[in-house]
Amino acid sequence: MFKSLGIFIFLFLLSIELNVAVAENCGVVRLLSNKSSGVTVSDNHCEQADSVSLGAVFDLSPGARLWFKTQSESADAHQGICLNRSPAKIRLQVNQEKQPWVSPKLETCSQWQDNKLQCTEPKTHQPLLVCVLAALTEASQGFEDRTTSVKVRGLPALDEPNLAGFEAKLAAETIDVDSVVDTMQLDIDLCRSVNPSAKAIDLSWQVVDGVVTSVSPTPSQLSSREANDNYWLECLTSVVKKCNLSALS
């Protein structure tokens, strides 16, 4: 009897230790599912939505975009994006609790340098996967749940999307155009960083009750668009569509 009781207590304590260990490794990064596309997660031990544990695996289908944010509320907080430019599925694993947090399951990858990693095709040297990290100055808040702007450190100044024809609509809804651009700036810069050859682009936005309901290139943009512009356009469109303008009024 005492032996059975001792075994039960041992197993109970072991279960507590395992649960604590899982909890400590849970939420190393947060999947930004409302911006990610073509991404599935496996081996994730977190129960909370979008929280991702150490050891979890991201599967990126061809053309997929992975957006993630670190859970840290310190000066080390980052947001990242990875773009699969290959015709095959690519895997990344959350393999450490510190920067850069994720590592691809590919052999032809560079080392992380200046917050950027690139994997290339061995023969053609064409990019297969590009990942970029950006430091956040407001560590505890992300674009998806904030109403004030977040600035990015360490990325060069890039071309802004053209807001022509949209300022009047924003003014009618008493929304500050600068606030709109500032709010999206982090994500715009990250989109451009994984598409370094992308050119300036003009977009037409439709807004209903402070929500962007549709985004499309202007007719001239459609006629002159090149195949490589698709990644840049799709990334930028996803950023614009999720911008809640009513929160900025």
Q: At 179, phi and psi to the nearest 5?
A: -65, -40
Tell the residue number behind the tokens 């900025």, with chain if given: 248
Kindly tell me the sign of the dihedral angle through the C-alpha atoms of 220, 226, 227, 230.
negative
Shared-domain flag, residues 213 and 242: yes
Total count of domains within the chain: 2
Is residue 9 predicted with pLDDT exceeding 50? no
Q: What is the mean pLDDT of residues 148-162?
A: 40
Shared-domain flag, residues 218 and 116: no
pLDDT digits (tens, 9 = 90+) for 75-118: 678 999 999 999 999 999 999 999 999 999 988 999 999 999 99
Shared-domain flag, residues 169 and 203: yes
Shared-domain flag, residues 123 and 210: no
Q: Is residue 193 part of a domain?
A: yes
Q: Is residue 85 part of a domain?
A: yes
Q: Is residue 3 part of a domain?
A: no
Question: Which residue would you say has higher pLDDT here, 143 or 214?
Answer: 214
Domain boundary among 109, 136, 163: 136
- Give the orientation angle of helix 229-241 with respect to helix 177-193, to 10 degrees: 140
Percent of the chain with pLDDT over 90: 33
Q: What is the mean pLDDT of residues 127-156?
A: 57
Least confident segment among 116-120, 139-143, 177-181:
139-143
Give pLDDT, residue 32.
93
Mean pLDDT of the chain: 74
Give pLDDT, residue 120.
94
Confidence of residue 60 (pLDDT cuts 50, 70, 90): very high
Contacts of 125 by beta carbon, 8 Å cutoff, 6+ apart = none
Shared-domain flag, residues 57 and 117: yes
Shared-domain flag, residues 181 and 115: no
Domain boundary among 69, 103, 136: 136
Shared-domain flag, residues 159 and 230: yes
Give pLDDT, residue 37.
93
Shared-domain flag, residues 158 and 222: yes
Q: Is residue 18 part of a domain?
A: no
Shared-domain flag, residues 62 and 154: no
Is residue 149 predicted with pLDDT exceeding 70? no
Residue 167 belongs to domain spanning:
148-248
pLDDT digits (tens, 9 = 90+) for 33-59: 988 999 999 999 998 889 999 999 999
Among 89, 78, 150, 149, smallest CA distance to 116 is for: 78
Between CA 90 and CA 60 the distance in angstroms is 5
Tell the residue number behind the tokens 């197993």, with chain if given: 11
Q: Is residue 14 part of a domain?
A: no
Shared-domain flag, residues 240 and 215: yes
Buried b / exposed e across 84-119, counting CB within 10 Å, b at 16+?
bbbeeebebbbbeeeebbbbbbeeebeebeebbbbb
Q: Is residue 181 part of a domain?
A: yes
Shared-domain flag, residues 131 and 59: yes
Q: What is the mean pLDDT of residues 12-24?
A: 40
